[in-house]
Amino acid sequence: MPDEKTTHFGYKQVPTEEKASHVREVFDSVASRYDLMNDLMSLGIHRLWKRHTIELAGVRGGQRVLDLAAGTGDLSERFAGIVGTDGEVYFTDINAAMLTRGRDRLMDAGIAGNLHFVQVDAEALPFPDNRFDCVTIGFGLRNVTNKQRALEEMYRVLSPSGRALVLEFSQPESRPLRKAYDLYSFTVLPTLGRLIAGDADSYRYLAESIRMHPDQETLRSMMERAGFERCEFFNLSGGIVAIHRGYKL
């Protein structure tokens, strides 16, 4: 069993203090093909998963939103349009290459007036308590070294009556789907990574990191331990992806 000095990086055990640098190398490598690979890997369905996350967030005009692990900005872009000029969206990522790519994409699209671009570590957020009406993290929590600490930080910066949403790959509900998903993840994904991004190893890690991520019930319990109330999850695509939602009451 791993101890506090080691943690998982995919199926490997690495020194805890080194995981962030390994994850950074992965996303430095895939940043330039990130959007294309997302479309290919999910057959475009990731856009529907993100749309459902937006709907469950219930964000309104004038509110302040923190989008962690924002990647190239799909969620931040939608939130910016919803909160309007009276609101604010903090587009954040720990990875400089991803943050730069997302910022350039949204600025080129003319969507930057109410956006703040900040490089942050989800385990140590540089924001005051009770700052945000909504906090989201999309396909990023599984890459965080200390997931419990990140959830506690999300709770800390959330304002009373605010809500947090975690969009993440999860555990398929049926055994046949799990078998098919495993076959796809460990054969097709690395092959696509090699052909499109020139990097099979990074996409093999992504498949492994999904298997090491807490299942739906475990993640709900982790959110409750962090202080969230009324925690619930919504399985999408048979549980391949789940959206967890919790409130700060």
Reported as a single tens digit per residue, the pLDDT across 201-212 is 988 998 999 999
- The span from the CA of 198 to the CA of 65, in Å, is 35
State the pLDDT confidence band at 229, using cuts at 50, 70 and 90: very high
137 located within any domain: yes
- The span from the CA of 59 to the CA of 51, in Å, is 13
Q: How many domains does the chain have?
A: 1
- The span from the CA of 13 to the CA of 162, in Å, is 36
Task: Look up residue 79 and give its amino acid.
Answer: F
pLDDT confidence of residue 166: 98
Reported as a single tens digit per residue, the pLDDT across 131-167 is 999 999 999 999 999 999 999 999 999 999 999 999 9
Domain region containing 56:
43-170+219-247
Reported as a single tens digit per residue, the pLDDT across 92-114 is 999 999 999 999 999 998 887 89
176 located within any domain: no
Q: Which position has the higher pLDDT, 111 or 246?
A: 246
Cβ(59)–Cβ(65) below 8 Å: yes
Cβ(155)–Cβ(164) below 8 Å: yes
pLDDT confidence of residue 2: 44
208 located within any domain: no
Q: Phi/psi at 241 (nearest 5 deg)?
A: -130, 145
The token pair that represents 203 in the structure block: 């996409």
35 located within any domain: no
144 located within any domain: yes
pLDDT confidence of residue 163: 98
The number of helices, as runs of H, and strands, as runs of E, in the chain is 10, 9
The token pair that represents 97 in the structure block: 């290459």
pLDDT confidence of residue 103: 94
pLDDT confidence of residue 1: 39
150 located within any domain: yes
CATH code for position 118: 3.40.50.150
21 located within any domain: no
State the pLDDT confidence band at 185, using cuts at 50, 70 and 90: very high
> Between the CA of residue 239 and those of 52, 115, 167, 171, 244, what are the distances in Å?
14, 32, 12, 6, 12
Task: Look up residue 167 and give its amino acid.
Answer: L
pLDDT confidence of residue 195: 87
Residue 173 has pLDDT above 50, yes or no: yes
Choice among 30-44, 85-99, 153-167, 193-207 with the minimum mean pLDDT: 30-44
3-state secondary structure of 181: helix
Strands 158-169 and 132-138: parallel
Of 249, 212, 217, 213, which is closest to residue 232 (Cα–Cα)?
217
Region 190-206: mean pLDDT is 87
pLDDT confidence of residue 25: 85
Place of tokens 């599984």: 142
Q: What angle in degrees, to the nearest 10, is found between the helix axes of 46-57 and 34-42?
A: 100
pLDDT confidence of residue 43: 85
pTM over 0.85: yes
165 located within any domain: yes
Cβ(57)–Cβ(134) below 8 Å: yes
Q: Which position has the higher pLDDT, 51 or 203?
A: 51
